[in-house]
Amino acid sequence: QSIADALNISRSYLCHQFRDYFNTSLWNYILSKRLVLAQSLLLRGKTVTEACYESGFRDYAHFIKTFSRTFGISPKKYCQNPEKNKTFLLPS
């Protein structure tokens, strides 16, 4: 809503235009950016909890579920093998 307010347009118009231009919803775009940030934080040695909150998630359980569902690996397992996971997994 704050993005729409800053642009002086409705939230619905913003979401519609974003989907038309990027072929994904604004929410999915933001979520994918948060997940990629979380990966980066984990690779830099942050704990799963730190990565969760620093990447913008407010709920730890939701973060674990979303990360695991998106990448096919839990955040804990992801950061246990940093050499193998240096290449970022991209959300589909």
For 41-60, how does the pLDDT look when each residue is reduced to its tens digit (9 = 90+)?
999 999 999 999 999 999 99
Is the pLDDT confidence value at 90 over 70? no
pLDDT of residue 89: 59
Walk me through the domains of the chain, giving residue ranges and CATH numbers: 2-80 (1.10.10.60)
Q: Please give the Cα distance from 22 to 86 (Å, whole number).
A: 27
For the question of whether the overall pTM of this predicted structure is more than 0.85, the answer is: no
> Which tops the pLDDT comparison, 13 or 92?
13
Integer-rounded Cα radius of gyration of the chain? 15
- pLDDT higher than threshold 90 for residue 86: no
